Structure 1
Amino acid sequence: MRSLAVFAALAALAAPALAQPEPGDVRAGRGLAANWCANCHRIAPGGPGPATDVAAPFASIAAMPSSTSMSLRVFLQTPHAGMPDYHLTREQLDDLVAYLLSLRR
């Protein structure tokens, strides 16, 4: 019984940390995407951005099960052939990830 009480107390302490929203401003992230990413990616359903298959549409990226906050952050901070290295600040990274994840259906 005592173990159950300890577990409940620990779970109650962890709950606020689990409930915190992801950092980032979706609107600012959309602005970054429009300025930097729309040359190659369709950044929103119906535009803006090219309608080619050269770079994946953001909605497709967001829909991938592997697209998590952490995986997007790692990807965006790792240089890739054919993709500019923008050297995003932490705030810009937060905003862009927040925008990408907002596109999940």
Structure 2
Amino acid sequence: MRLALLSTIAVFLSAVAPALAQGPDPAVGRRLAEETCASCHAVGAEPDAKSPDSKAPRFLDVAKMPSTTELSLKVFLRSSHRNMPNFLLSPEETDGVAAYILGLKKK
């Protein structure tokens, strides 16, 4: 009985672990940024791009700020802000957008 239980757990973990280990998907974050944020922000990696709203920082500039970390982005994306619409992002969407912005730091 115990061996059967351990075998079942091992099979379950081998099926679930790869999905958990993948982490946030920056491609999902990019798609969401293009659909939701690009009306105000320059969301791409183009160094000469300008945000449609001059008060909205470019994602590339946000990525390169010394204070930008995974945690700071997630907190920011989950908080309401006076000059931004209040978006309700799922945890996976928040993680994806944060991963996308952090990926811009390397460009």
TM-score where L is the length of structure 1: 0.72
TM-score where L is the length of structure 2: 0.71
- Judge conservation of contact 2:42–2:52 (CA < 8 Å) in 1: yes
- Judge conservation of contact 2:63–2:105 (CA < 8 Å) in 1: yes
Indicate whether 1:23 and 2:61 are aligned.
no
> Which amino acid in 2 is paired with 1:69?
E
1:64 Cα offset (Å)? 0.4
The aligned counterpart of 2:45 is 45
- Judge conservation of contact 1:27–1:99 (CA < 8 Å) in 2: yes
Alignment length, in residue pairs? 85
- Judge conservation of contact 1:33–1:96 (CA < 8 Å) in 2: yes
Q: How many angstroms apart in 2 are the aligned matches of 1:104 and 1:93?
A: 17
Indicate whether 1:103 and 2:93 are aligned.
no
1:74-103 superposed Cα distances (whole Å, 9 cap, x missing partner)? 111110012011111000001100100000
Percent identity between the aligned chains? 36
Structure 2 unaligned spans of 5+: 1-20
The aligned counterpart of 2:33 is 33
The CA RMSD over aligned residues, in Å, is 2.2
The aligned counterpart of 2:92 is 91
- Judge conservation of contact 1:38–1:49 (CA < 8 Å) in 2: no
- SS of corresponding position for 1:93: helix
Q: How many angstroms apart in 2 are the aligned matches of 1:48 and 1:37?
A: 14
Structure 1 unaligned spans of 5+: 1-20
1:23 Cα offset (Å)? 2.8
Q: How many angstroms apart in 1 are the aligned matches of 2:50 and 2:35?
A: 10
- SS of corresponding position for 2:83: coil
1:52 Cα offset (Å)? 4.5
> Which amino acid in 2 is paired with 1:45?
A
> Which amino acid in 1 is paired with 2:45?
P
1:22 Cα offset (Å)? 8.3
The aligned counterpart of 1:3 is none
